[in-house]
């Protein structure tokens, strides 16, 4: 029994050794096949690289060569590079409470003509003007056009560079909006305007206003909301110490123009060093406030009333017209004899 048990054990051990040897052989074969496949892939890659190097390069087009008008569908389209918007001027345009309908329409016209403008709700009259600097900074604006109305009669406009100044205060006269004028001219929304200035803007205080007008009304180049061409022109003309604003459409290269609107007149009052205040750099010596003009008119009317009253009193002192006569006539008047 012992001999049989030893024989069976030896047989099982030899069978197990045979199976282990077969497994090792299979693992070795798989490793060799993976190495061969890697070598083949490397050879293929090198062949592709060699073929790409051996491909003939297309000759460069000559300088005078013009590309064909048609394009093959396989040719990739070259993307145009977007030009940068560097002059990032933003203008805050809003007004105070109490402005009339015509002044509100003028404000809307300016917003439509200026794609780089921002909106804001109306400001309370009792608030200080310096608050506008904080509002402009929150709106990320560096220029501001502010409209205010006093006594429901006097219309003022502020143009300021936020937050350090300068700023200019104007009295606005003869306001006519686009809807009111109904002119024949027209321009594309967002088109960049040309700015035309009177030769008198070369004087120092006028030069400050000119530079502020350029930075405020001029639309920056490559602005996202602007159009890349010019089809209208703003004119700033000085007449009798006042600035006349007009907006014209450019009809052609020959210089023909057609008015679009709006139109208004700016009477400059003061130029301040700061934004909405500060030191006064220049003051208009010919400016007369509307309150003073109204008081002068009332005084003239009061003078007419006083003159009329004096004439009436003098007529009353003269007496009736029949009492006035020749005093010598009384000498020849005699009493009748009593019979």
In angstroms, what CA-CA distances link 273 with 5, 51, 62, 116, 281? Answer: 118, 73, 60, 25, 6
What percent of the chain is predicted at pLDDT more than 70? 70
State the Cα–Cα distance between residues 257 and 115, nearest whole angstrom.
23
Q: Give, rounded to a whole angstrom, the gap between the first and last alpha carbons of the chain.
A: 215
Residue 141: closest CA among 238, 215, 229: 215
pLDDT higher than threshold 50 for residue 165: yes
State the Cα–Cα distance between residues 9 and 3, nearest whole angstrom.
10
Q: If you ran DSSP here, which 8-state letter would residue 320 be given? A: -
Residue-level length of the chain: 339
E strand intervals along 23-142: 91-95, 117-118
pLDDT higher than threshold 70 for residue 158: yes
- Greater confidence (113 vs 337) lies with 113
pLDDT higher than threshold 80 for residue 276: yes
**Per-residue confidence (pLDDT) for residue 304, from 0 to 100:** 79
State the Cα–Cα distance between residues 195 and 187, nearest whole angstrom.
15
State the Cα–Cα distance between residues 286 and 25, nearest whole angstrom.
112
pLDDT higher than threshold 80 for residue 184: yes
H helix runs in 123-165, sequence order? 131-138
What's the pLDDT band for 101 if we cut at 50, 70, 90? Answer: very high
Q: What is the pLDDT of residues 229-256, one digit of tens each?
A: 899 999 999 999 999 999 999 998 888 9
Count how many Cα atoms sit within 13 Å of the Cα of residue 53 in the half-sphere of its side chain: 6
**Per-residue confidence (pLDDT) for residue 314, from 0 to 100:** 83
Q: What is the pLDDT of residues 43-84, one digit of tens each?
A: 555 555 555 555 555 555 555 666 666 666 666 666 666 678
What's the pLDDT band for 118 if we cut at 50, 70, 90? Answer: very high
The answer to whether the Cα torsion of 22, 23, 28, 33 is positive or negative is: positive
**Per-residue confidence (pLDDT) for residue 175, from 0 to 100:** 94
- For residues 203, 205, 209, 214, the Cα torsion angle rounded to the nearest 10 degrees is 40
List all residues 6 or more positions away from 121 whose beta carbon is below 8 Å from its beta carbon. Answer: 94
Largest CA distance in the chain: 215
**Per-residue confidence (pLDDT) for residue 1, from 0 to 100:** 45
Interval 5-28 mean pLDDT: 57
Max avg pLDDT among 20-24, 141-145, 220-224: 141-145
What's the pLDDT band for 21 if we cut at 50, 70, 90? Answer: low
């Amino acid at each position: 029994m012992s001999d049989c048990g030893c024989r069976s054990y030896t047989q099982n051990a030899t069978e197990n050794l045979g199976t282990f040897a077969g497994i090792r052989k299979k693992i070795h074969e798989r490793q060799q096949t993976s190495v061969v496949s890697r070598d083949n892939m490397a050879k293929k890659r090198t062949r592709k690289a060699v073929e790409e190097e051996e491909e003939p390069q297309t000759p460069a087009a000559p300088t005078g060569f013009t590309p064909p008008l048609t394009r093959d569908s396989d040719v990739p389209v070259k993307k145009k590079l977007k030009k940068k918007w560097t002059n990032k001027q933003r203008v805050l345009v809003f007004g105070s409470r109490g402005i009339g309908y015509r002044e509100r329409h003028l404000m809307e016209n300016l917003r439509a003509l200026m794609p780089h403008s921002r909106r804001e709700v109306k400001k309370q009259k009792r608030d200080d003007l310096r608050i506008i600097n904080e509002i402009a900074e929150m709106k990320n604006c560096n220029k501001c056009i502010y409209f205010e109305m006093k006594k429901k009669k006097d219309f003022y406009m502020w143009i300021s560079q936020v937050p350090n100044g300068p700023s200019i205060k104007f009295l606005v006269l003869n306001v006519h909006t686009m809807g009111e004028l109904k002119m024949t001219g027209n321009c594309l929304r967002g088109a960049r305007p040309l700015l035309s200035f009177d030769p008198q803007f070369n004087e120092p205080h006028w030069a400050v206003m000119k530079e502020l007008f350029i930075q405020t009304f001029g639309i920056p180049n490559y602005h996202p909301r602007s159009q890349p061409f010019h089809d209208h022109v703003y004119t700033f003309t000085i007449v009798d110490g006042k600035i006349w604003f007009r907006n014209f459409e450019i009809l052609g290269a020959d210089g023909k123009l057609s008015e679009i609107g709006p139109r208004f007149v700016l009477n400059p009052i003061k130029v301040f060093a700061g934004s909405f205040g500060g030191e006064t750099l220049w003051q208009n010596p010919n400016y007369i406030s509307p309150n003073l003009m109204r008081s002068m008119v009332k005084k003239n009317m009061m003078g007419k009333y006083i003159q009329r009253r004096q004439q009436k009193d003098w007529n009353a002192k003269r007496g009736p017209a029949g009492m006035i006569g020749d005093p010598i006539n009384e000498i020849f008047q005699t009493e009748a004899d009593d019979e």
